[in-house]
Amino acid sequence: MKTIVITGASSGIGAAIARRLGRDGNNLALAARRAEPLNAVAAECGAHAMAVIADVTRREDVERLRDEALRAFGNVDVWINNAGRGITRSVLDLTDADFDEMMAVNVKSALYGMQAIVPHFIERGRGHLINISSFLGRVPIATHRSAYNAAKAALGALTANLRADVASKGVDVSLVMPGLVATEFARNAIGTPSAAPPQWTPGATMTPQTAEEVAEAVAELIEHPRAEIYTNPASAEMARRYFEELS
């Protein structure tokens, strides 16, 4: 049994991860802004799950989440920064508010999580920090996602830097890169939803995964930590082809 914190746990990938890890009897501290759906997910995850209403773009809320998890369970073994939001806006149409929102939700929230929990991991000599990114953070081919792509690329860089900083301290740091996932993500993005999935590489499209498939990949990652994973088996080859086209 592990104690696991998951942000953005009220729906989509976060909720699927919570349900999957809850089935294994783990202690779960689940965070999101919306109380009703978050409480419903926590109830599905069993007696060892707690809901913490929090806006993870606020540092004080993230620190409170950490403190409530430690108070309830005594320690934290795994922290999953999953909260995120998309955008449907081209680069030339981005406003200051658009860009600031993308960075706050997709990068700063994760930074707050890293800074809140990793000192606890270092003190214990063990722990696993997982940042949920996106294939678009590595291969920014969906131009209508613009600032979202940029934010996830920034998250990837921060994750790699943190991994290097704690390499000798017993702390695992992982980046998870889902591709297209069948959730409400696109509908909740800033701007008008895109009518068609993007072309990821010339002549190829990515088949959507379910949130449950992503959750299964995360559960496997917790059991066998790695630096980075693509949740879609086709993603690595698509990324390779993309960078070959650039060279």
- Mean pLDDT on 9-17: 97
Mean pLDDT (the chain) is 93
Q: Is 230 a catalytic residue?
A: no
Count of residues in the chain: 247
Pick 186 or 13 by higher pLDDT.
13
Position 187 confidence tier, pLDDT thresholds 50, 70, 90: confident
Which pLDDT score is estimated for 195?
Answer: 46
CATH of the domain at 241: 3.40.50.720
Are 166 and 122 spatial neighbours (Cβ–Cβ below 8 Å)? yes
Q: What is the mean pLDDT of residues 12-23?
A: 98
Phi-psi region of 177 (alpha: psi -120 to 50; beta: other; left: phi over 0): beta
Alpha helices, H only, 74-108: 96-103
* Strand stretches in the chain, DSSP E: 3-7, 27-32, 49-53, 78-81, 127-132, 171-177, 228-230
- Condensed to tens digits (0 to 9), the pLDDT of residues 107-134 reads 999 999 999 999 999 999 999 999 999 9
Question: What is the mean pLDDT of the segment spanning 87-109?
Answer: 97
Asked if the model's pLDDT at residue 194 lies above 80, the reply is: no
- What does the block give as tokens for 123? 């003190």
- Residue 189 CB neighbours (<10 A): 18
Q: What confidence score (pLDDT) does residue 140 get?
A: 95
The domain in which residue 169 lies consists of 3-246
Mean pLDDT value across residues 71-77: 98
pLDDT confidence band for 196 (50 / 70 / 90): very low
- C-alpha 15/C-alpha 234 separation (Å) is 24
For residue 162, give every residue at least 6 positions away whose Cβ sits within 8 Å of its Cβ, in sequence order, or none: 114, 118, 129, 173
Q: How far apart are CA 93 and CA 82, in angstroms?
A: 27
Least confident piece of the model among 156-165, 187-196, 215-224, 225-234: 187-196
Angle in degrees, CA 161, 174, 61, rounded to 5: 80
Is the pLDDT reported for residue 191 higher than 60?
yes
Please name which of 230, 186, 31 lies closest in space to residue 112, comparing C-alpha atoms. Answer: 31
Half-sphere exposure of 53 (CA within 13 A, CB side): 7
Report the range of poorest mean pLDDT among 61-65, 94-98, 164-168, 181-185: 181-185
| Catalytic residue (choose from 112, 148, 230, 242) | 148
Residue whose token pair is 């992503």: 214
51: Cα separation from own chain's centroid? 18
Domains: count for the chain: 1
